[in-house]
Amino acid sequence: MTEPEPAIVVPNAWQSLRSLTAARIALGRTGVSLPTSAQLEFQLAHARARDAVHLPLDTAQLAQDLKGLEPDQPEPIVLASAAGDRLTYLQRPDLGRRLDERSRETLAALQPNAAGYDLALVVVDGLSALAIAQNAAPFLRALTQRLAVEDWSLAPITVVTQGRVAVGDEVGERLGARAVAVLIGERPGLSSPDSMGLYLSWAPRVGLTDAQRNCISNVRPEGLAVTEAGYKLHWLLRESRRRQLTGVDLKDETGDALEASAADDIKPAALRNFLLA
């Protein structure tokens, strides 16, 4: 009788924890190395992250996806940062924080709103156009439904290519908005090439620092769902307008507010799955 072959992969004792996280834990081993399957999965995740960084944003498709978010809302205005191409964008973060001259002229040519706008929504490709393509439209749909029942005046939605977070401050300033919310593709992780971040600034202007912004991170189906993210940003927007500030002076208290309200459609457990600065 032939003896069975010994198992090649030695399982890890913590393997059961893998059902709780997408993190690469308890992969087992073959000798002193990773199993071949784990190594191949790592290479695939790395390739997907690289693809997300270099994938160009399809602005025409995004404009189509954003149609009809608000009654009488014009088509999104497509702008560009001062970084002329992807290689320059990756090597010169400072250029990604400012608009190019043509985009400034485009905004200057708009008919000004005498009363100004309460909020400018700026969609930026950042380091993952994939995140914007998949998450921006569903999120804005969830957010604008909440804003529609209040007296928010929205500036025309803008889309910025080759942009960093701070480019939203220049857009908001040139539009005369009292607040700006930037939707941006985050730096891809090895298990999250599609993660979108949200940044909120009160009184946007060139030169703001990260301490003057609030951030909601990891917006994607496997992270913070768009409904929960919309709830959080809406809460921050209301508090920002009431107190006229953002950043380190504006703390997220949506957990307490949720308990005090009857927002039954938001699950408290899901609200813990985010990063807020």
Overall average pLDDT of the 142-150 stretch: 92
**Known binding-site positions for adenosylcob(III)alamin:** 165, 186, 215
Percentages (nearest 5) of helix, strand, coil residues in the chain: 40, 15, 40
The confidence band for 135, taking pLDDT boundaries of 50, 70 and 90, is very high
Average pLDDT, the chain: 88
Q: Encode pLDDT of 225-243 as tens digits.
A: 999 999 999 999 999 999 9
CA distances from 84 to 55, 81, 92, 105, 211 (A): 15, 7, 10, 16, 28
**Known binding-site positions:** 165, 186, 215
Distance, in Å, from the CA atom of 224 to the CA atom of 155, rounded to the nearest integer, reads 26
Q: What is the pLDDT, as a whole number, of residue 216?
A: 96
Q: What is the pLDDT, as a whole number, of residue 259?
A: 55
Q: What is the pLDDT, as a whole number, of residue 6?
A: 58
Overall average pLDDT of the 69-92 stretch: 90
Q: What is the pLDDT, as a whole number, of residue 263?
A: 47
Domain ranges for the chain: 65-251
SS3 assignment for 93-136? HHHHCCECHHHHHHHHCCCCCCCCECEEEEEECCCCHHHHHHHH
Sheet with 77-80, strands from edge to edge, namely 77-80, 158-161, 120-124, 179-185, 196-202, 213-219
Would you call 233 exposed, middle or buried from its count of C-beta atoms within 10 A (0-12, 13-18, 19+)? buried
CATH no. for 65-251: 3.40.50.11240
The confidence band for 257, taking pLDDT boundaries of 50, 70 and 90, is low
